[in-house]
Structure 1
Amino acid sequence: MRNKKFIWFTSVIVVLYFATISVFYQLPFATGLTIFQDVSRSHWAAYDIEYMYNQGLMKGRDETLFNFYPQAQMTRSELVALMLRVDGVDLATLDPAATSKFTDIPSIHWVNPVLADAQTLNMIPFKDVANGQFQPDQPITRGELAQAVVQSLHLEMTTSMEGVIPVTDIAGNPYEPAIQTMIANKYAKGYEDGTFRPDVIADRATVASLFAKALRETRPETKTDSTAKKGGGK
């Protein structure tokens, strides 16, 4: 009789334990998703997004909800901050009182210390800042993204298109050398119609993809999947 009561009591405790877990603790993502609940395993940039997260370089915008917003735009300020992280800078150590040379940055804007450090490190990828305007909240383009990857990883420029499919719409573009370098190294590629679309806004998934592919190749110690391929991103 005692054994039956013990078993019954134990069963009740176990049931209550798992019921409590189900109520007070929920996984941040469902089966079939990455660590972000808005990025499925089948998403074309899923592996690259997780890689950037695992390296501490990119995170979600809703940390409590674990959303990455892969189709959202990235601003110029966010891109330069990412470039510094890629270059090994701990943004928490930057002087919060530092200011940049740009005249359109409000004194209370969070990017001020980032830009001050980026100027010193030559980490400003935009070709239209000679007039002193940075446009901190403007979305970045695919051409600017290519320049940012090349610049922050200190890649050697190349014009060789041997073994890759060239794109048809970058001639004369201010970011042409950087785009060619990305394509030549298979860190990026064009669309099916043979274009790169350098002036199109780059979403967060594309940012993660281009950076991740270049980083895994130039810093092989950071690879987390031996089956990862260098190509495949947009």
Structure 2
Amino acid sequence: MTGHWAEADVETLASKLIVHGVTDTNFAPEQPVTRAEFAALIARALGLLPQRTDRFRDVQESDWFSGAVGAAAKANLISGYEDGTFRPDAPVTREQMAAMLARALQLGGHEVQGNAALLERFTDRADISAWADEAVTAALSAGIIQGMTDTSFAAHNQATRAQAVTMLKRTLQSMKFMNP
């Protein structure tokens, strides 16, 4: 992590016991973050207590992430797919992460009105799924997520562990759960 652009954010959330490395000595900032890992991050960040869930047929009670997924689902932070799965090992996309973080803002009582004009600068704005459009604009308006470049949002790109931590920190700051 030394010298990485997300070093300070990772260290801040690690000191609060919200984020962990892939090992005791390696954070792997550029590795994709899975849907289960991101659900666990959100649950820890918001102090949600583990919950049992039978909502998703691919989440077993014995899975390390089961309690976090159950808590995030009960809080309506996450949703699964139409086939009844959560797909915990799938990498979370940038638009999925924006949706989860926009829901976290709502849970924390911080309603953000999205400004659709913020999407105009992205040449790939049509790639943002209809179900995620409002959440993406809310996350952009709140300053939680940015484009991959000045003109590209990359809605379907896999989010990295570094991106996840930085966006989660911005969410907590926006909710006034931590100082800037």
TM class by shorter chain equals 0.7 to 0.9
Q: Which residue of 2 aligns with 1:156?
A: 111
TM-fit CA distance, 1:165: 7.2
Q: What amino acid is the match of 1:110?
A: W
- Partner residue of 2:148 out of 191, 196, 199: 191
Q: Which residue of 2 aligns with 1:62?
A: 23
Larger RCO: Structure 1 or Structure 2 (Cα < 8 Å, ≥ 6 residues apart)? 2
CA deviations on 1:109-148 (whole Å, 9 max, x unpaired) are 2233333333321121x4x523211111111111111112
Query: Partners of 1:164 and 1:195 in 2: how far apart?
Result: 10
How many positions carry a matched residue from both structures?
175
Task: Point out 4+ residue stretches in structure 1 off by more than 4 angstroms.
Answer: 161-165
The secondary structure found in structure 2 opposite 1:153 is helix
What's the % identity of the aligned pairs? 25
* Structure 1 residue runs without a partner (length 5+): 1-38, 229-234
Q: Flag the structure with higher helix content.
A: 2
TM-fit CA distance, 1:69: 0.7
Check if 1:84 corresponds to 2:39: no
Task: Pick the structure with greater CA Rg.
Answer: 1
The equivalences for 1:1-234 within 5 A come to: 39-40=1-2, 42-63=3-24, 66-90=25-49, 94=50, 98-124=52-78, 126=79, 129-154=81-106, 155-160=110-115, 166-171=121-126, 173=129, 174-219=131-176, 222-223=178-179
Q: What amino acid is the match of 2:98?
A: A
Query: Partners of 1:44 and 1:59 in 2: how far apart?
Result: 17
The secondary structure found in structure 1 opposite 2:125 is coil
Q: What amino acid is the match of 1:217?
A: S
Change (3 A) 1:101 1:208: same
Q: Which residue of 2 aligns with 1:5?
A: none
The secondary structure found in structure 2 opposite 1:175 is helix
* Structure 2 residue runs without a partner (length 5+): none
Change (3 A) 1:107 1:85: closer
Query: Partners of 1:117 and 1:214 in 2: how far apart?
Result: 18
Q: What amino acid is the match of 1:101?
A: R
TM-fit CA distance, 1:162: 6.7
TM-fit CA distance, 1:150: 1.3
Q: Is the CA contact 1:87–1:153 (under 8 Å) kept in the aligned structure 2? A: no
Q: What amino acid is the match of 2:104?
A: S
CA deviations on 1:59-100 (whole Å, 9 max, x unpaired) are 21211xx2111011111111111121122224xxx36xx342
Query: Partners of 1:48 and 1:161 in 2: how far apart?
Result: 28
Q: What amino acid is the match of 1:169?
A: D
Q: Is the CA contact 1:159–1:181 (under 8 Å) kept in the aligned structure 2? A: yes
